[in-house]
């Protein structure tokens, strides 16, 4: 009997768990260890953050789902991974009691989601800083409360300054911040308070609408439209100011200190700020047989697990080498160890990194959340199924092959709401296959805004919660 352990129950971990449970769980032992006993549907936390959705509508308990699909659940925080052959196990601490937990494994999936590195920017974050976040449910609730308090000030006639974007020069997830700024604008418009708010988009992107993926480009009627032009028109129509090519260095009460591409430093004042932190890998200890630290064999300096990619290529070469991106998400040193979602180490950035005259790097990291996480979770699970059944891993999907879609809402109303629908093929440009300057299929790639997108966003919320609960027909719903 094979023992499979999955660390984490987010998009990647949950996807891997439901595939492994349904395909292997009756004959083998599949265990999920997570420090949370609920699954959280992260894309809807943007609505929680403006008070348009109840927090409880975005989560569900994990154990009842796992009980139905032959998966054991351990509510504990993983702390150590011991990967040496012959004695492979995960050590953790049970939530609530602190009791030690040991889980032996034959195959390991590392998918715990990101460490939110608020500490990487002094003064950032809702717990020990002066800004807000929608990257966890408790943070989204705090953001909602602070935002609604700001609304009350505006109702009394006060004019306020709102800043939304990224809070670190190497941050990712610009899409989540874009969706939040759009929902704040729409909410204030419906409340009749939009004239009371100066709203600024502050981002480390090299260009507006870059989103850390080198932008999105589509071709219609022989004309190429870029996401920069598209988002610029959205912001101009909404009266949202923007400042890109900027890395936040520190935050004080009501003040954001930054540096830009030119090496200029400045201060932006705010009454309310929601800034996405840098993401890092979870700080697990990787321990060898003799108790030595073997992290350098497994993770990069940011804590992300190295897999079957080509690391160390300069950006100019990486951008021309689609095969440098991992296919199986399998660690080369320990082939029974896989990393899914944000946990795997990308070979480098997708957008061109920039170092200013002061040797200050401003470079958005590659996004690996949402749909991308789900697809990787599936690939990893199916490869483990192959290995358990005595076959070579046969499933692969590089980010230079993936088609990904994103629906960014601009208000949640099904009657007068809107959303931006974005489709990219592939997520990471493949300039060998697609012979254009963007390295993308310009026919499949798509950008559109309208009411239909709001309906799609609403349907995705319910459809994917159905899938992640592994309810009947879940396998028919694509990742």
Asked whether the whole model's pTM tops 0.85, one would answer: yes
φ, ψ of residue 351 in degrees (nearest 5): -75, 150
For 354, the token pair is 């920039």
- Tell me whether strands 446-450 and 419-424 are parallel, antiparallel or unpaired: antiparallel
For 286, the token pair is 């990787």
φ, ψ of residue 225 in degrees (nearest 5): -110, 135
DSSP string, 84-141: STTS-EEEEEETTT--EEEEE-SEEEE----EEEGGGSTT-STTTSS-B--SSHHHHH
Residue 401, number of CB atoms within 10 A of its CB = 17
Rounded Cα distance, 92 and 78, in Å: 4
- Tell me whether strands 354-355 and 29-34 are parallel, antiparallel or unpaired: unpaired
Rounded Cα distance, 226 and 208, in Å: 10
Task: Show Cβ contacts of residue 290 under 8 Å, excluding neighbours closer than 6 positions.
Answer: none
Per DSSP (E only), the strands in 261-314 are 265-269, 272-276, 278-280, 285-286
φ, ψ of residue 273 in degrees (nearest 5): -140, 135
**Cα 437 to the center of its chain, rounded Å:** 27
DSSP string, 372-434: HHHHHHHHHHHHHHHHHTT--------TTT--EEEEEES---TTT--EEEEEESSSS--TTTS
Rounded Cα distance, 112 and 258, in Å: 31
Whole-angstrom CA distances from 263 to 245, 246, 257, 328, 361 are 10, 9, 13, 40, 10
Rounded Cα distance, 175 and 195, in Å: 25
- Tell me whether strands 38-40 and 404-409 are parallel, antiparallel or unpaired: unpaired
Whole-angstrom CA distances from 139 to 26, 42, 133 are 38, 12, 6
pLDDT in tens, the chain (479 residues): 999 999 999 999 999 999 999 999 899 999 999 999 999 999 999 999 999 999 999 999 999 999 999 999 999 999 999 999 999 999 999 999 999 999 999 999 999 999 999 999 999 999 999 999 999 999 999 999 999 999 999 999 999 999 999 999 999 999 999 999 999 999 999 999 999 999 999 999 999 999 999 999 998 888 899 999 999 999 999 999 999 999 999 999 999 999 999 999 999 999 999 999 999 999 999 999 999 999 999 999 999 999 999 999 999 999 999 999 999 999 999 999 999 999 999 999 999 999 999 999 999 999 998 999 999 999 999 999 999 999 999 999 999 999 998 888 887 778 877 888 889 999 999 999 998 999 999 999 988 888 888 898 999 999 999 999 999 999 999 99
SS3 175: helix
Task: Show Cβ contacts of residue 454 under 8 Å, excluding neighbours closer than 6 positions.
Answer: 409, 410, 411, 412, 413, 414, 417, 418, 419
- Per-residue model confidence (pLDDT) at position 454: 85
For 30, the token pair is 């599949």
Domains and CATH numbers, the chain: 3-115+279-388 (3.50.50.100)
Rounded Cα distance, 17 and 71, in Å: 7
For 22, the token pair is 């349904």
Task: Show Cβ contacts of residue 244 under 8 Å, excluding neighbours closer than 6 positions.
Answer: 201, 203, 204, 205, 206, 207, 208, 210
Place of tokens 């719903």: 477
Starting at the edge strand found earlier in the chain, the sheet holding 404-409 runs 404-409, 419-424, 446-450
């Amino acid at each position: 009997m094979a023992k499979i352990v999955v660390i984490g129950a987010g998009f990647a971990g949950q996807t891997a768990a439901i595939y492994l449970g349904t395909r292997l769980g009756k004959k083998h032992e599949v265990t999920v260890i997570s420090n949370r006993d609920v699954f959280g549907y992260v894309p809807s936390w943007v609505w929680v953050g403006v008070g348009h959705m109840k927090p409880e509508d975005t989560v569900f308990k994990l154990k009842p789902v796992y009980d139905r699909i032959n998966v054991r659940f351990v509510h504990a925080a993983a702390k150590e991974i011991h990967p040496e052959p012959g004695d492979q196990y995960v050590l953790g601490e049970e939530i609530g009691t602190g009791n030690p937990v040991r889980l032996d494994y034959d195959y390991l999936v590392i998918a715990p989601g990101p460490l939110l590195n608020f500490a990487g920017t002094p003064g950032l974050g809702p717990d020990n800083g002066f800004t807000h976040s929608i990257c966890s449910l408790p943070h989204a609730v705090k953001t909602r409360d602070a935002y609604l308090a700001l609304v009350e000030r505006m109702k009394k006639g006060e004019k306020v300054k709102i800043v939304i974007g990224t809070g670190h020069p190497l941050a990712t997830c610009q899409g989540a911040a874009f969706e939040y700024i759009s929902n704040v604008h729409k909410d204030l418009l419906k409340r009749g308070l939009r004239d009371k708010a100066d709203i600024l988009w502050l981002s480390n992107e090299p260009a507006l609408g870059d989103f850390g993926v080198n932008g999105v480009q589509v071709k219609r009627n022989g004309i190429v439209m870029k996401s920069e032009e598209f988002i610029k028109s959205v912001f101009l129509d909404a009266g949202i100011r923007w400042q890109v090519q900027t890395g936040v260095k520190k935050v004080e009460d009501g003040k954001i200190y930054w540096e830009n591409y030119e090496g200029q430093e400045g201060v932006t004042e705010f009454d309310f700020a929601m800034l996405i932190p840098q993401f890092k890998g979870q700080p697990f200890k990787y321990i060898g047989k003799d108790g030595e630290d073997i992290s350098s064999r497994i993770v990069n300096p940011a804590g992300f697990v190295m897999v079957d990619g080509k690391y160390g290529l300069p950006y100019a070469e990486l951008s021309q080498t689609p095969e440098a991106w991992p296919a199986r998400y399998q660690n080369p040193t320990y082939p029974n160890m896989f990393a899914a979602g944000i946990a795997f180490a990308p070979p480098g950035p997708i957008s061109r990194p920039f170092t200013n005259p002061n040797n200050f790097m401003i470079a958005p990291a590659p996004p690996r959340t949402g749909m991308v996480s789900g697809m990787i979770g599936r690939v990893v699970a199916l490869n483990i199924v192959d290995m358990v059944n005595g076959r070579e891993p046969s499933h692969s999907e590089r980010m230079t092959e993936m088609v990904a879609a994103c629906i960014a809402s601009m208000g949640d109303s099904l009657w007068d709401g809107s959303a931006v629908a974005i489709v990219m093929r592939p997520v990471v440009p493949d300039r060998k296959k697609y012979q254009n300057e963007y390295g993308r299929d310009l026919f499949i790639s798509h950008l559109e805004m309208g009411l239909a997108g709001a309906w799609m966003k609403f349907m995705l919320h319910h459809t994917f919660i159905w899938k992640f609960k592994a309810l009947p027909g879940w396998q028919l719903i694509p990742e």
